[in-house]
Structure 1
């Protein structure tokens, strides 16, 4: 392996501190609970598909997903160190995630700054997505 080469791999665990570090070096830290270590630990422990990009052993990119491996893969976090963005690392992380779940639809919610990126790499925009942040916001009469 050549020095400075990016190495992509599926990893079974992701250390919370390492995850926080790459989130801070990407644009995702503003939208993730990086100051809540217990929540980040739980996010790392409960993701069942983690694909990483490492340069000289240092985590420079991550795709953290929840999947059943056959029908649906939710790519919850795609983070790449800002100094290494626009080099294809994010695209490769998505490609590796899809390779590991070939029959499953890959679904993600885009960060506002990345909305234009996903169509460029071949992803289709879906207009029928809904979110619920707080169960108290659910308007169901009992």
Structure 2
């Protein structure tokens, strides 16, 4: 069992694309993200201005969770991904990443995201308010 004291949360703007891809796949988000398009994954990481990671504090410090977000650091932060490796799900890593995001952004910045259907309960449990008025233009590819 992983203890919270064994997890390192940090801002990591130069996250390796292979590590990012691995966590997306291991989390289950690989089914909804372009994990086989390395150039697109690199663009996704480079355009994010807030990348937070959760790593095990052991040799090699393996990545087990990531938040990729876009924010103005003043008014709002949009979280594009919150991914936690399946082997670490249920251990508080996702909540820890959200707590770190809130700590780094401060109390004057709102956080928004669009949840995958099977993650709605998680966001409600950590105290996020469900909003009905979200709108979406879907991707063409």
- Asked if Structure 1 and Structure 2 have the same fold, meaning a TM-score greater than 0.5 normalized by the shorter chain, the answer is yes
Alpha-carbon distance in 2 for matches of 1:90, 1:134: 26
Alpha-carbon distance in 1 for matches of 2:139, 2:80: 18
Alpha-carbon distance in 1 for matches of 2:96, 2:29: 18
CA RMSD of aligned residues (A): 1.5
Deviation at 1:134, TM superposition (A): 4.4
TM-score (norm 2): 0.90
Q: Unaligned regions of 5+ residues in structure 2, if any?
A: none
Deviation at 1:81, TM superposition (A): 0.7
> 4+ runs of 1 displaced by more than 2 Å?
none
Q: Any residues of structure 2 matched to 1:124-135 within 5 Å, and which?
A: 124-134=129-139
Partner of 1:28: 29
Q: Unaligned regions of 5+ residues in structure 1, if any?
A: 136-142
Q: Residue 82 of structure 1 is aligned with which of 53, 67, 86? A: 86
Deviation at 1:116, TM superposition (A): 1.2
Q: Any residues of structure 2 matched to 1:81-120 within 5 Å, and which?
A: 81-102=85-106, 103-120=108-125
What is the aligned residue count? 133
Q: Does 1:45 align with 2:49?
A: no
Superposed CA offset, 1:43-63 (max 9, x none) = 011110011001131110001
Superposed CA offset, 1:95-141 (max 9, x none) = 11111112111001101110111111100000000110248xxxxxx
Deviation at 1:41, TM superposition (A): 0.4
TM-score (norm 1): 0.89
Alpha-carbon distance in 2 for matches of 1:59, 1:109: 23
